[in-house]
Structure 1
Amino acid sequence: MGFLLRTAFWLGVVAVLLPTVTRSPSDDGGQSAVSAADAASAAASTVADLRQFCTRQPDVCAVGMQVASAIGQKAQAGAKIMMEMVSETLSSSERAPVTTGAAGKLDIARPTSSQHTLSTADLVPEWRGPTPRREQAARPPG
């Protein structure tokens, strides 16, 4: 059900954002496009009509309020569970970092801190470039 609602929402967003085909005034039979004032007054009358919906249909409005309340409670419960999971994950990661082994399973027994056994000279990479020309001239051929 949630998938269908999300799909309907995103299809609606795409439909609103799609460019409209504009026609010339001669194509629409002399009728002009809807002005912004007409659209605003239509929206205002629609909102006024929706405000009177519960007085016209009280049983439908009551069921809608129950459904909205149930959805709100589920959303609150889901958010609470999500917050508990996030806070638990953050608090456990602050205590001891957890690493994964080669098999992808959690490896808690292995120490995660570095032992710093390399010296500074070990960290310097070897030179792998070509030998300078001065050294090539000084070397005997062969």
Structure 2
Amino acid sequence: MWFLIKGAFWFSLVLVLLPLFDNDAATKLQQGPSVEIGDTVSAASEAITYLSALCLQKPDVCEKGAETFVALGHRAREGARVAYKLLDAQFADPAEDSADARAALAQPLPALAAVDAEAAEADTVITGTIAVPSRRPDPAR
């Protein structure tokens, strides 16, 4: 879910910065409303303070909000799965048999099987002695 929030933030930041590279858009925006950075930062910090105080005063609101974000995350995951299926149906190679592709995906990759075998061997504990380091020579002497 945080991925979607971060993605939306960065996408909106890109949309805000794109007019800087177009001269026509830059001239249009100079005539438009202006924004003071100090006022914007102050408003954002007060909004964060208000939201944190809201969670302390009414914890049930924050619990319901968290449940809502979880539900939206599940919906977004399912939406991504549906989008993947649609794109796969649109751009898949017709010569490729989907049953063969599913069977290939169901089998573990050989590299992963080798890593699992190495991890099983690495679980053995080897005991021994550790050499005590000798003292360094004193530079004052």
For normalisation by structure 1, the TM-score amounts to 0.37
> Which has the larger helix fraction?
2
In terms of Rg, which structure is larger?
1
Relative contact order, higher structure (CA 8 A, sep 6+): 2
Q: TM-score, normalization: structure 2? A: 0.38
